[in-house]
Chain A
Amino acid sequence: MTVTLTKLNCPNCGAPLDWDGSYGKPVTCPYCGSTFMPGPTDVDDLWLFTDSVARARYEFKGTLDKLEHDIRYEVLRGGTWSNLDRQCKRELERLEREGLIRKLASFWALSPFPPVYRAKQEGELNFGGKRFRFNKGDELVWACPMTRDRFELDAPILIGDFASERVQRTCGEMADAMMGRMKTMLEE
């Protein structure tokens, strides 16, 4: 039987743990020795940053549970959205309401697959005590934690001219792909 190990952090000491993804089975932390029972994280809106079309694709294929699991444990790492994430979303919604940006018929190719916007005129987002300027024609997207890590972003917003992507990947698949690439580089 194939067991997919999923990363979790120990609620007592914060150490990374390997978990087989099963609820109702105790997990013992090899670092501090504490034992706990993993359960579904209480997130008020798991789909807060997921474009409805991306979600519908998983529903159509009957694999929505796979995406839900990915968002809960790979994107959110068992936690919830940060205040900065929520502020960023509110700012994007404000700009859309005011007609400065519009939602494109596209979504980000990496889970949780947030919608992509395009600026109709220049303006700025203001959240977390910082201002983020954009010009007419720029594309904007809320940046997930993995994108933030990868591109060393201080805030959860990406502004630029994005490329078209052919492959839709979950955060977990992307992590595996990046690990595979690192392994290849080390072997060379």
Chain B
Amino acid sequence: MTELGATAGAGADETGPPLIAMHGITKVFGSLVANDHIDLAIRAGEIHALLGENGAGKSTLVKILYGLLEPTEGEIRWRGEPVRLAGPQEARSLGIGMVFQHFSLFENLTVAENIAAAMPPDLSLAEVAAKARDVSGQYGLSVDLDRPVWTLSAGERQRIEIIRCLLQDPRLIVLDEPTSVLTPQEADRLFVTLERLAASGCAILYISHRLEEVRRLCSSATILRAGRVVATIDPRAVSAREIAGLMVGTALHDVVAGRGAAEGAPRLVVRGLSLASEKAHGQALRDIELAVRAGEVLGIAGVAGNGQGELFAALSGERLAHGPDVVAIDGKPVGHLGVTERRRLGAAFVPEERLGHGAVPDHRLAENTLLSRHGTGGLVSRGFVLADATRALATRIIETFDVRKEGADPRARTLSGGNLQKFVVGREILREPGVLVVNQPTWGVDAGAAALIRQALVDLARSGSAVLIISQDLDELFEMADRIAVIHAGELSAPEATGDLTRETVGLLMTGAAAPKGTVHAH
């Protein structure tokens, strides 16, 4: 373990035992050691970061801390006393609060009901609502308690989680990737709230992979890699690059972007695409216009739930547009054609969800090659599956994209997120598609895999394909995209060259606060 800098926070209480101390925490799932003898201590008033790649064991550790998982080995001490957390109720009664990454909310219930669901059962709904009103006033977290959750934005939803947490009068708040669904402006508001909480003596465990945030907010950080603690540091005293090195274990290469062809022919064109959502509380698309040219990467930024899934479905042909001309691939109208026909015209698609959408979890990799390639030749003959051909293709994908796996042809669900994503993206790129639409290419993927995927996408564009990337990760878009547009409430802003944009302007567009479409180009 390396010690870089001192572990001391500004408002931290330096005397006595730490508020919470985890000693030698180990968690084993089957043959996987998710946490391997982890030590972690947090003092009151301290904002402590838990850093690590996807798959490093952060989520497992916080689930243990919140009583959702039982550690296989190890001890938790609360104010010096050993405790056994049998469930979230016990964690909450000690004073541990949790803000989940994938919010633990109930879409069809009102805000007040959502808050009440986590409160002791002897309180009436009215009492819960009154308390919630107090807390939201006290911390400036405004939400309408009577609205159903499905009508709320990601930022508002997070506020509910935080209020729910604060109502328990917590001594320690755990936030799991809290800014991943927020705009930069919303994130700033969150930081203010967290700093106020810390100043009042509350300890905060802040989980993130965004190093700049951590360096700005946190006074100490524990870094995990492959289930082990590799360092405990003062993030303000260490550069982001050094921290990244500790997280990943090897030096990372930046994506070599190069400039995209400015005047390539448009290969994917969308004109006046409007589409009602088929989900109960989905986002309708409104009059979307876009064109992706040969050789360029077009990025679409936006907060989750603003129509990204619907846009992907309409572009891929999973849902059909209203007329043939609404979507065109290489000049051919395809709005009325399904996924397979669009693939035959040279398009390829990578959906957001790997397991269950981009791959069938319980199917082997060879079978999963069929999923998107059964209609484009080579794998099926007269209705019969050519098993050897699927195996050969799987092997080619695995070798070309460095997919790490156990066994000759494992089931998709046994792969790590990063490796499965490499397989899914590789399956499409190996076809050398003329148009590639990718939704959240590196969501929940480790840094090494993310770098490989991004480079492959950029290389594909440079070879003359049109690449459309829908992503919530602004860093990723600024790194790869030649132009960026923003989707908000089902509307798409006009794309701008990446060089002309700042994170702030994109952030404003993501909240819908900026001028509506069209006026951007008016000057």
Instruction: Decide whether A and B are members of one complex.
Output: no
Interface, chain B (partner A; CB < 8 A): none
Interface, chain A (partner B; CB < 8 A): none
